[in-house]
Amino acid sequence: MMCRYCLLLVVLVATSSQAADWGQWRGPHFNGSSEETGLPTSWSLTDNIAWATEMPGPSASTPVVWGDRVFVSTTDTKSDTLQALCLDRKTGAILWQHEVAKGTHKDNRSSYAGPSPATDGERVVFFYGNGDLVTYDFEGRKIWSKNIGPFAFGWTFSTSPLLYDGKLYMQILQRDVAVAGQGSPGKNDSYLLALDPATGKELWRKSRPSKARAESLEAFTTPVPYVHGGRKQLLVAGGDAISGHDPETGTELWRWGTWNPERIGHWRLVPSPIAGEGVVLACAPKRDPVYAVTADGEGSLGDAGLLWTSRDNRPVSSDVPTPAFYDGDFFVLSDVRKMLSRVEPKTGKVKWTIQTPGRAKYEASPLAADGKLYLINFDGDVSVIDAKDGEVLKTISMEPDPKGSIRSSVIAAHGQLFVRTDTKLFCIGK
């Protein structure tokens, strides 16, 4: 007979394995996936909803969850300010809310509150497209803040902070000269930045050169950590190339490029890199293909570094969403072709492709968990899709009055789903 202590230990282990945090934009594995099980597959605006909390304004940022805390970057439309929020995961009550800056927009397509927060369980970091970088403890006390702008971008800059191995990483891939009055006078550098998350002290700053031109120098991507063959690296996509960097120093380990041999000048990059099974994906802009590169290269990679491309399989592409890696495969959501595909990493073989449900566009990145994919489109329709065969299990409308601007990804934490619309943050699952 199992002793009471052993039984309690088994229960605790089982519970903890099913109750994961979601501390970064792309989750605990930095690839859009989670080991969460028992996630909801059916709900409505009133059924199977733990809580729904009004948001002070819209935002494309994805919430992050740690323990009983939910952190949200947002705008406040009434005060025209950028806000940092902390909610109680169990009740949805706002525990604290801080004004970060006045002014929420530079253009009419997006706001400065596009980047998602990041937390390591001790502190939470918020970044905004105006350059404000601010860190709080879990009780809402400000630890430090600084502005790392200005930035040379034609549109509103967005990249999410990355907390990894005790460092805070920021990526600035921008134009080499000011544009539309944005950026520093003279030459603007593209670079990776590492900070001490406890103090904000700069640990290192490493330039990342590029042969790209004009808007193609602009990247709205987030650096992604990946460990392969015992080697840690930060994956960086933008400026017509993808590269791997040493997380300790920022030194470039390898680079592959380019998807833009003609150096077209308006190919800004939005999807972040994604890796799995020793393969790194870069999604070229517009309707161009996906490129698969080896993760164990050194130096400048030529044709030998390119494992495959989806040039002959045109549904596999993405202009905005970052793919997910789950159950040994990539899941590539194409916003421009309105398709979702399951792709084998080593070969590029497409196991299935479906047309995305509904008529609205999908720019939010997919969540992969519990044998399913969760997608949300501009109108706030959440689709639950069987990862095994692509069957659409359910589509649920979460926005009664859609404005066609929802871009925040669905996330999973502690057996629940979190869905951000323009007006509310929903916690789904009792």
Q: Helix, strand, or coil here: 409?
A: coil
CATH superfamily ID and name for 22-428: YVTN repeat-like/Quinoprotein amine dehydrogenase (2.130.10.10)
Tell me the C-alpha distance between 332 and 353, whole Å: 9
- Residue type present at position 380: G
**According to the model, what pLDDT value does residue 304 have?**
87
* E strand segments, 89-122: 94-102, 118-119
Residue 409 near residue 364, CB atoms below 8 Å? yes
Residue 174, both tokens: 């921008």
**According to the model, what pLDDT value does residue 16 have?**
38
Tell me the C-alpha distance between 271 and 227, whole Å: 20
**According to the model, what pLDDT value does residue 303 have?**
86
Q: Is the overall model pTM greater than 0.85, yes or no?
A: yes
Tell me the C-alpha distance between 396 and 45, whole Å: 9
Q: What separation, in Å, do the N-terminal and C-terminal C-alpha atoms of the chain show?
A: 33
Cα-based angle 15, 226, 383 (whole degrees, multiple of 5): 60
Which percentage of the chain shows pLDDT scores above 90?
90
**According to the model, what pLDDT value does residue 19 have?**
65
Tell me the C-alpha distance between 172 and 115, whole Å: 13
**According to the model, what pLDDT value does residue 109 have?**
77
Residue 418 near residue 63, CB atoms below 8 Å? yes
- The ranges of the chain with pLDDT < 70 are 1-19
- The domains of the chain are located at 22-428
Which of 355, 345, 367, 282 shows the shortest CA–CA distance to 318?
282
Tell me the C-alpha distance between 45 and 428, whole Å: 9
**According to the model, what pLDDT value does residue 64 have?**
98
Which of 61, 96, 58 shows the shortest CA–CA distance to 77?
58
